[in-house]
């Protein structure tokens, strides 16, 4: 049970690190994709 909790906490921390890194590096990329998708919708 304790091992499972530690594993979940570790994976959650890892996910947060990856998410924050993705936000920093990929925010302008996502913005670019959104801008490119908007004209094609309308």
In the block, tokens 């909790």 appear at 5
Predicted model pTM: 0.43
pLDDT at 12 (0 to 100): 86
According to DSSP, residue 1 is labeled -
pLDDT single digits (tens) 1-42: 778 888 888 888 888 887 788 777 666 677 777 777 766 555
| b/e per residue 12-25 (b: at least 16 CB within 10 A) | eeeeeeeeeeeeee
Share of the chain above pLDDT 70, in %: 76
């Amino acid at each position: 049970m304790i091992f499972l909790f530690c594993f979940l906490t570790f994976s959650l921390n890892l996910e947060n690190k990856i998410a924050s890194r993705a936000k920093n590096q990929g925010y302008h990329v996502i913005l670019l994709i959104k801008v490119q998708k908007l004209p094609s919708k309308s």
